[in-house]
């Protein structure tokens, strides 16, 4: 592969742009200069660490270490997804719901891609497994947090209508059906949009990266299509798991709407 | 004379309510009174099994646990003070719109009201439509939470007549009202909810 290797001087020159941003912020009184510098420093530190972790993982090619890295990624994704929710379940459910759904989606889809399409040797080769999982988790996380926000928000807002259906003898599946469908639909919109816009409006990041890395465009495109499909599948699996288990948690065997299982809204 | 035991509540409790014991009988109209915040709505919601609660509820000698929740709610039907609507068109909220028409007319609603969008309804129209919706189920027990609070005098009388008619056909009615004249007009007896409990002096069938 032929690609232009970057030197640290190159990065230092690029960092001038961030410093310019900070100066601009000071000149305009935006008070963002500090956050700019902290965010830029985090980028450097976090990515450097990730680079080192990946380097070690790639050298060792151990199933257990790869699995551990995957687990850590899933736990962070679960935390992010629950942190993005406006109103949450109380107790363990806040965190458990998103995390377990993402674990199911990430593992199923990544394993599917590794064992049937990419087939690296060994099958869990971290050079393929970790980036794949990362991309699937990132998108799945967005879908799940949108879906759960929609489900819980609508169940609270539509409480009177949902309970009116229950009082008339409809079961909880009928009463919550519209709210559940809306939640799944909301969570699936981003992947539909990015599939529709791919190549026309945006060159997806992974494809751009591969092209910069010297991969022929046609090959990079094939990878990007594969990833898009994997993301679509992963988002759907994770979203369905999360929305249906949340709907189950919002109801009980006596077909009641259990909003009491949500924790009070936190002030931002 | 209706004396079949219809609805028996023993050892009921929920939140700050209970223990409460009472019985409702077919054909009677009972007012549930008590100051605001005494738990009238909490009690009614729980009787319709909309919220978790403790105690034994029996309908015609059948324990509620033996009846699936949706069937329970069709027979012990609760009409909340706020009506809920889940599609844009009024008619969608009635399982059989054709059979609803005579009742809607008696409740002084316009003939074409079933084709209206929900947004066109006034508070009073919504309230009468919601009442019609539960009356059409012909439940064994009707739990009405301020069923006429938004209605003018004429519409109130029409609604009361339909409620009494339902009782005559064998339902037991428990209703919340703050209107003393209304209570005098339609209540056969009154439960007072105070300090989380009810003084049900008549625990046998009225003779």
The string of pLDDT tens digits covering residues B12-21 is 777 788 788 8
- A95-A100-A106-A109 Cα dihedral, nearest 10 degrees: -150
> How far apart (Å, rounded) are the C-alpha atoms in residues B95 and B79?
17
Within-domain flag for A216: yes
Q: Do B73 and A257 touch (CB under 8 A)?
A: no
Q: Do A168 and B134 touch (CB under 8 A)?
A: yes
Same domain for A42 and A157, yes or no, is: no
Mean pLDDT of B192-203: 75
Q: Is the N-terminal amide bond of A122 cis, ω within 30° of 0? A: yes
Q: Which domain holds residue B112?
A: 5-198
Mean pLDDT of B25-47: 92
Task: Collect all residues with Cβ–Cβ distance below 8 Å to B148 and sequence separation of at least 6.
Answer: B127, B155, B156, B159, B160, B177, B179, B182
- For testing contact with chain A, the best of B46, B51, B86 (most A CBs within 10 A): B86
Same domain for A69 and A34, yes or no, is: no
- For testing contact with chain A, the best of B41, B44, B49, B73 (most A CBs within 10 A): B73
Q: What angle do the packed helices A205-212 and A217-249 form, to 10 degrees?
A: 150
Within-domain flag for B126: yes
The answer to whether the pTM exceeds 0.80 is yes
Q: What is the ipTM of this complex?
A: 0.91
Same domain for A34 and A88, yes or no, is: no
Same domain for A165 and A44, yes or no, is: no
Chain A residues touching B49 at Cβ < 8 A? 254, 256
Same domain for A111 and A219, yes or no, is: yes
Within-domain flag for A266: no
Mean pLDDT of A15-39: 92
Mean pLDDT of B28-33: 94
pLDDT of residue A266: 62
Res. B201 pLDDT band, cuts 50 70 90 = low
pLDDT at B205 over 80: no
Q: Do A255 and B70 touch (CB under 8 A)?
A: yes
pLDDT tens digits, residue range B108-129? Answer: 999 999 999 999 999 999 999 9
Q: Do A161 and B86 touch (CB under 8 A)?
A: yes
Within-domain flag for B204: no
pLDDT at B147 over 70: yes
Size of interface A-B (CB pairs under 8 A): 65
Within-domain flag for A267: no
The alpha-carbon gap from B106 to the nearest alpha carbon of chain A, in Å, equals: 21
pLDDT tens digits, residue range A123-163? Answer: 999 999 999 999 999 999 999 999 999 999 999 999 999 99
Q: Do A166 and B130 touch (CB under 8 A)?
A: no
- Comparing CB atoms, the residue among A158, A169, A254 nearest residue B74 is A169
Q: Which domain holds residue A179?
A: 63-261
Same domain for A201 and A96, yes or no, is: yes
**Total of domains in chain B:** 1
Task: Collect all residues with Cβ–Cβ distance below 8 Å to A94 and sequence separation of at least 6.
Answer: A82, A85, A88, A263
Mean pLDDT of A226-240: 95
Same domain for A56 and A161, yes or no, is: no
**Total of domains in chain A:** 2
């Amino acid at each position: 592969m032929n690609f232009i290797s970057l030197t640290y001087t190159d990065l230092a020159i690029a960092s001038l742009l961030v410093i310019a941003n900070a100066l601009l912020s000071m000149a305009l009184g935006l008070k963002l200069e500090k956050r700019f510098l902290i965010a830029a420093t985090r980028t450097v530190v976090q990515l450097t660490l990730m680079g080192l972790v990946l380097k070690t993982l790639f050298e060792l090619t151990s199933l257990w270490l790869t699995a551990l890295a995957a687990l850590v990624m899933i736990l962070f994704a679960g935390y992010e997804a629950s942190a993005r929710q406006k109103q949450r379940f109380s107790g363990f459910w806040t965190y458990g719901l998103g995390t377990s759904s993402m674990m199911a989606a990430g593992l199923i889809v990544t394993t599917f891609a590794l064992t049937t399409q990419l087939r690296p040797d060994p099958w869990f080769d971290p050079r393929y497994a970790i980036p794949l999982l990362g991309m699937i988790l990132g998108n799945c996380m967005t879908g799940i947090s949108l879906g759960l926000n929609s489900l819980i928000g609508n169940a609270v807002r539509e409480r009177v209508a949902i309970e009116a259906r229950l009082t008339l003898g409809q079961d909880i599946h009928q009463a919550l059906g519209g709210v559940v469908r809306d939640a799944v639909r909301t969570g699936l919109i981003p992947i539909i949009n990015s599939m529709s816009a791919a190549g026309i409006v945006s060159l997806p990041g992974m494809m751009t990266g591969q092209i910069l890395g010297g991969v022929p465009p046609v090959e990079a495109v094939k990878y990007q299509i594969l990833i898009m499909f994997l993301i679509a599948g992963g988002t759907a699996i994770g979203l369905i798991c999360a929305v249906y288990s949340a709907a189950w948690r919002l109801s009980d065997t006596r077909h009641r709407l259990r909003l009491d299982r949500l924790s009070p809204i936190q002030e931002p | 004379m209706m004396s079949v035991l219809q609805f028996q509540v023993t050892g009921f409790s929920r939140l700050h309510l209970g223990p409460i014991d009472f019985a409702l009988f077919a054909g009677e109209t009972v007012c549930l009174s008590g100051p605001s915040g005494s738990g009238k709505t909490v009690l009614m919601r729980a009787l319709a099994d909309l919220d978790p609660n403790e105690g034994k509820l029996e309908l015609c000698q059948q324990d509620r646990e033996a009846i699936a929740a949706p069937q329970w709610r069709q027979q012990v039907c609760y009409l909340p003070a706020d009506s809920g609507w889940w599609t844009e068109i009024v008619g969608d909220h009635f399982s059989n719109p054709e059979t609803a028409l005579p009742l809607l007319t008696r409740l002084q609603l316009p003939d074409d009201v079933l084709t209206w969008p929900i947004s066109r309804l006034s508070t009073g129209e919504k309230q009468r439509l919601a009442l019609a919706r539960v009356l059409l189920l012909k439940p064994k027990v009707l739990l009405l939470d301020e069923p006429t609070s938004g209605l003018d005098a004429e519409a109130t009388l029409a609604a009361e007549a339909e409620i009494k008619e339902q009782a005559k056909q064998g339902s037991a009615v428990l209703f919340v009202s703050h209107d003393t004249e209304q209570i005098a007009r339609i209540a056969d007896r009154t439960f007072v909810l105070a300090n989380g409990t009810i003084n049900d002096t008549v625990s046998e069938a009225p003779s």
